[in-house]
Amino acid sequence: MPYTYDDQNIFAKILRGEIPAKPVFESEHTLAFPDISPKKKAHVLVIPKGPYRCYDHFVQAASDAEQLDFFRSVAKVAERVGVAESAGGDGFRLITNSGANSHQEVPHFHVHLLGGEPCGPLVCD
Ligand code: AMP
């Protein structure tokens, strides 16, 4: 079944400037901003600017330029917020949710970058 994209989701509104966010990083195809409800000392969301619902949609439909920009941007964000080892940090965790079983709340592809303190077990029941 083809992916659909609801352009009324919160991150689409942030990209259009209808809801405020304080970017910590921006590139041609990617935007990063703090999660409004941080689960760790560092909790940043990294999103593509294009209309993709989830990771699998992004990988299927985004251009090579968008994908390269996105994944490089995640690493740049980890450096900028100081959690990457290359920036003197103690590491980080990336999480992305896709679809109902994952409890994805916002239907615009995003990666959670978490760090600044130990992240605990990989999953909770
Ligand atoms: P997910 O469950 O993976 O879809 O995560 C969605 C995330 O978006 C949650 O961690 C929310 O706290 C976060 N969130 C929702 N609204 C906003 C907003 N306006 N600005 C920043 N983060 C948000």
Give the predicted TM-score (pTM) of the model. Answer: 0.98
Using one digit for the tens of pLDDT, what is the confidence trace for 70-88? 999 999 999 999 999 999 9
Q: How far is CA 8 from the centre of its chain?
A: 18
Mutate-to-test residue for ligand 1 from 13, 22, 33, 37, highest number of ligand atoms within 8 A of CB = 37
Using one digit for the tens of pLDDT, what is the confidence trace for 15-65? 999 999 999 999 999 999 999 999 999 999 999 999 999 999 999 999 999
The two beta strands, 92-95 and 30-34, are unpaired
